[in-house]
Structure 1
Amino acid sequence: MAGRLADRVCVITGAASGIGRATAERFLREGARVIAADLDGDRLATLEGVVPVTGDVSRDQDARRMITTAVDRFGRLDVLVANAGVIPLLSVTEAEGSDFDRVMAVDGRGMFLTCKYAIEAMLASGGGSIVCTSSISGVAGQARQAVYGPAKFVATGLTKHLAVEWAEHGIRVNAVAPGTIETERVAAARVEPGGPEYLAEVERGHPMGRFGTPEEVASAIVFLASEEASFITGAILPVDGGYLAR
């Protein structure tokens, strides 16, 4: 049976690990043709079945190349998953201006650039679907998210504005807002100073009593990318075990 994304041409950024990798693997199972982009070329090379593109989404030429690879290889772009991001755990007194700039470059500017070039490609082929990775930190306040949280509010805002601007051209733009997900970043936080205490507190904020998995977020992304969500645009879909419902 054909999958829900059969023959769709899809670019996924931040695809080497975590939510991006789980999404790439799920898209492949759903029949998509996947261009997987990430800064970590070595790890990206271990992802089978994709067209790999190594690059930095915050660099204009790299972001453009991620999209043009899809068009050059397959003739069009149907789906963008704008997922690349960095997640420092810093309070405003711990953070420096350089920390803020680095996160905004990847999570903010990088998402803007990949969406920009994806929309240009989708206009040429009659429409498409964009799914941005926001966060519960892009909807509500959290401790130790002084640089990451504002960048995810950029993701939420960009999603809504682009959805309104491009709906009449057949381009849908939505976002997922994951809670805390068991990624490599969370594993690293478990051994950072103050990390275990922070994670224990955050876990208590998830009514389901646990963190999510990358695969659970990937399932939501597949839905938003597919025709099953054909009348949905501008939505921010929580995948958070009830965190935002409190």
Structure 2
Amino acid sequence: MELGLTGKRFLVTGGTRGIGRAVVEGLLAEGADVAFCARSADAVTDAQAELTADGSIAFGTAVDVRDQAALTDWVAHGAASLGGIDGVVANVSALSDDWLSSIEVDLMGTVGLVDAALPHLLASEAGSIVTISSVSGREIDVFAGSYGSIKAAVIHYTQGLAHQLAGQGVRANTVSPGNTYFPGGVWPAIERDDPELFKASLDLNPTGRMATAREVANAVVFLSSSAASFITGTNLLVDGALTRGVQF
């Protein structure tokens, strides 16, 4: 399937590791150009060197998405460097039980990215917004509380965008991963520090395993592409049948 991403221009937050890094790699593999950010300057420098080693176009910047002015400046710089913006992927998460951190990073980091990028997306021929939520935003699980509540808010916000922007040629979708295992992520730490919780969480999935970052990123890349041109307002679960509620 031709995804039609060659020459398209994307911004990705949280792009140095895990799902965000896999999204950047997936977009670059399809011929897109990408500007990405993360909080750690060293991680950004290392990632940019690795991502551009084959000649791909990727620009990395150290940005804390809680700083709305810095986030807005990064979007403007990314648009200037890439010559415009065709899509954004809001991937950052505080992964926290702290309400304020979850609001500032997961929700307002997403809203700030979209607000700053929207004029550029409206100028694109195929503007796309993909937000990363979680199965915890859909049902009550071990991460109920601030994390699950704010992830639910991200889904609601994104579906609202889809309805508001459909007539203006900009699509908005959410990808909600199940438990995703990658180096440096939360699950290897839980596996080490709380093996009982890790085993209980693993046992919940009928596949017998957790997702890889690449498997989640594949869904993001597809929804960001022209192959998904009539898909907007959806919340796509990538969870290996972890959730049990029927989706209508």
Query: Can you list the C-alpha shifts for 1:174-198, whole angstroms capped at 9, x where unaligned?
Result: 0101000003221122233xx3222
The AA in structure 2 aligned to 1:122 is: L
- Kindly tell me: are residues 162 and 177 of structure 1, through their superposed partners in 2, closer, same or farther at Cα, counting changes over 3 Å? same
Give yes or no for the alignment of 1:25 onto 2:25: yes
- Count of equivalent residues: 235
Q: What is the CA distance between 1:100 and its match in structure 2?
A: 1.1
Partner of 1:140: 139
Query: Which stretch has the larger CA shift, 100-109 or 67-76?
Result: 67-76
1:154, 1:58 → 2: CA distance? Answer: 17
The AA in structure 1 aligned to 2:26 is: R
Give aligned-pair identity as a percent. 32
Partner of 2:209: 210
TM-score normalised by L of structure 2: 0.89
Query: Which stretch has the larger CA shift, 150-159 or 181-190?
Result: 181-190
Q: Where in structure 2 are there 5+ consecutive unaligned residues?
A: 53-57
TM-score normalised by L of structure 1: 0.90
Across the aligned residues of Structure 1 and Structure 2, the Cα RMSD in angstroms comes to 1.7
Partner of 1:42: 42
Query: Which stretch has the larger CA shift, 155-164 or 125-134?
Result: 125-134
2:133, 2:17 → 1: CA distance? Answer: 17
- Kindly tell me: are residues 234 and 107 of structure 1, through their superposed partners in 2, closer, same or farther at Cα, counting changes over 3 Å? same
Q: What is the CA distance between 1:119 and its match in structure 2?
A: 1.4
Native 8 Å contact 1:5 1:30 kept in 2: yes
Q: Where in structure 1 are there 5+ consecutive unaligned residues?
A: 91-98
- Kindly tell me: are residues 102 and 221 of structure 1, through their superposed partners in 2, closer, same or farther at Cα, counting changes over 3 Å? same
SS in 2 for 1:143: coil
SS in 2 for 1:25: helix
2:102, 2:148 → 1: CA distance? Answer: 10
- Aligned counterparts, 1:51-90, within 5 A: 51-88=59-96, 90=97
Q: What is the CA distance between 1:3 and its match in structure 2?
A: 6.4
- Kindly tell me: are residues 155 and 212 of structure 1, through their superposed partners in 2, closer, same or farther at Cα, counting changes over 3 Å? same
Partner of 1:230: 229
SS in 2 for 1:37: strand
Partner of 1:162: 161
Partner of 1:175: 174
Q: What is the CA distance between 1:144 and its match in structure 2?
A: 3.7
Partner of 2:189: 188
